[in-house]
Amino acid sequence: MKPMPHLDGLLEKARSNGVFGTKMRSVIKKPSKAGIEKVVAQQFELGLRIVEAGLCPIIEPEVDIECPEKALAEQLLEQAICSRLDDLDEDQLVMLKLTLPEVDDFYLRLIEHPNVVRFVALSG
């Protein structure tokens, strides 16, 4: 993601205007464990800033539908997200917005996680 030097001010403005949450989008082009973990770490770091501002972050690490070995990328992504979710305090709630997986019910563990308030399908 590009640097966001004015994020705190924008989050305050959003909260004062009754906004529920905001998202930051990253795109995964190949199934790289290190790369996917870095993307998820970045998403959750910004997500925690959004939580601290009183909003709900929409975590959106998109797996490109043209990704070679898309199912493997989804497996790595699910593991990385689950690990980050397990590190959250019970009052740190997030939404997840992910590409439809290759396998039905693949993200069920994420959907049912107590820190996930909504799970949204990315239509791309």
Question: 4-33: per-residue pLDDT in tens?
Answer: 888 899 999 999 999 999 888 899 999 999
Model confidence at 124, in pLDDT bands (50, 70, 90)? low
Active site residue 97: yes
DSSP 103: S
Largest Cα separation within the chain, whole Å, is 43
Res. 54: pLDDT tops 80: yes
According to the model, what pLDDT value does residue 35 have? Answer: 97
Among 18, 82, 81, 24, which residue's Cα sits nearest to residue 49? Answer: 24
Alpha helices in the chain (DSSP H): 7-16, 33-52, 70-86, 108-111
Q: Which of 23, 33, 97, 102 is catalytic?
A: 97
Q: Which tops the pLDDT comparison, 24 or 56?
A: 56
Model pTM above 0.85: yes
Four-residue CA torsion sign, 76, 82, 87, 92: positive
The first and second tokens of residue 94, run together, are 């997030």
Q: Which of 60, 62, 74, 78 is catalytic?
A: 60
Active site residue 60: yes
